[in-house]
Amino acid sequence: MPFSAFFYIVMFMNVLGIETSCDECSVAVVVDGKKILSNIVATQVERHAPWNGVVPEIASRLHVEWIDEVTSRALTEAGVSLADNIDAIAVTFRPGLIGSLLVGLSYAKGLAWSAGKPWVGVDHMMAHLYAPHLEYEIDYPYLGLIVSGGHTILCRVESMEEVTVLGTTIDDACGEAFDKVAKFYNMGYPGGVVLDRLAENGDPTAFRFPEPRLHKGNHRYDVSYSGLKTAAIHQLDQFRSDGAEDSLENIAASFRKAAIDVLVKRVKRAAGDTGINRVVVGGGVSANRYLRKSLTEDESLDSYFPSMALCTDNGAMIAALGYHRLMQGERSGLELNAAARVSGFRRSYP
């Protein structure tokens, strides 16, 4: 049966989504890219905490140990069986930690091949961007802001197939800068989450940090976080001499404000230039309270954020984008390989 004909006779499509790009082992069952029947997220956070960061080898080994159990739980919680009720499989194949990606991808290939199901490899960043589509009907075009531990991308999205990158970070990713500052000040792990929580009780004007923008060249929508990160780290002496317990909160609040304000400015600049005021935000940093508040309270913008559970890595967003791709007639073959990076996406994605 031709692939398209296969889907025309399926009334509802149950997609199994598999995500293992970093330190979350997650599998979900989603109906028609919208209704989440299950979304199991087995986090490895505690296993990486002693190192204050994700250790790639530990991450991939844990995925090997956990993936089958997490998949069984996702199927059981959804009340479905792979053979009878799953119509297709979607899996993250890039970008991420290569060892971790390979576990999910190879597992998905094995499942799809043995069960005779169609499957598709999806891009993790695009899946983050697609996450709010699980909960809202969002019209195109819109401005997409994807902010995670490895990427910071501002793009113009005409459709999920037509994405133009307007700006990126030229050095550290936004989430990475949060993680590094948190690590330096021993705030706790995972860094971005802890820093955000501390910042809620701090004074954002206590420390003056440089705006993380570029002064030279054609970087209208780009950002740079390495200067801000270094400036925050260089406040250590003042921080120590202050001695007050609450100065950790103040560092956190001042850093968070500088790191997020520049993103909001970039979004507003792009909205002014393009006339598009619809904004969709995805990626781990979309959980940031100050980013959510700044964009949603801005009345000139119409902003969409994923609910908190769908901000960080999860299988549901993979299943949802997988559904969309499958409906476009896409499917992958066993030769698909994992890729740690997406090269050359400075002006279009991928």
Contact (CB, 8 A) for 119 and 108: yes
**Interaction of residue 100 with ligand KG4, rule CB under 6 A:** no
Q: Phi and psi dihedrals of 30, rounded to 5?
A: -130, 135
| Minimum distance from residue 292 beta carbon to ligand KG4 (Å) | 9
Q: Which is nearer to Zn ion, 179 or 313 (CB)?
A: 313
**Interaction of residue 191 with ligand KG4, rule CB under 6 A:** yes
Compose the 120-149 pattern: x for residues touching ligand KG4 by CB under 6 A, - for all others: --------x-------------------xx
Please tell me the distance from the alpha carbon of residue 23 to that of residue 312, in angstroms, as a whole number: 11
Q: What is the CA radius of gyration of the chain?
A: 20
Q: What share of the chain is helix, strand, coil (3-state, %, to 5)?
A: 45, 20, 35
Q: Which is nearer to Zn ion, 14 or 148 (CB)?
A: 148
Cis bond before residue 306 (omega within 30° of 0):
no
Q: Which is nearer to Zn ion, 148 or 169 (CB)?
A: 148
Residues 161-180 that bind ligand KG4 (CB under 6 A): 175-176, 178-179
Residues 305-344 that bind Zn ion (CB under 5 A): 313
| Minimum distance from residue 148 beta carbon to Zn ion (Å) | 4
Work out the angle at residue 21's Cα, subtended by the Cα atoms of residues 59 and 116, and round it to the nearest 5 degrees.
110
- With CB under 5 to 8 Å by kind, the binding choice for 26 among ligand KG4, Zn ion, none is none
For residue 64, count other CB atoms closer than 10 A to its CB: 16
**Interaction of residue 148 with Zn ion, rule CB under 5 A:** yes
**Interaction of residue 192 with ligand KG4, rule CB under 6 A:** yes
**Interaction of residue 24 with Zn ion, rule CB under 5 A:** no
Q: Which is nearer to Zn ion, 176 or 249 (CB)?
A: 176
Please tell me the distance from the alpha carbon of residue 120 to that of residue 106, in angstroms, as a whole number: 12
Please tell me the distance from the alpha carbon of residue 257 to that of residue 244, in angstroms, as a whole number: 21
The residues that touch Zn ion, with contacts defined as CB under 5 A, are: 148, 313
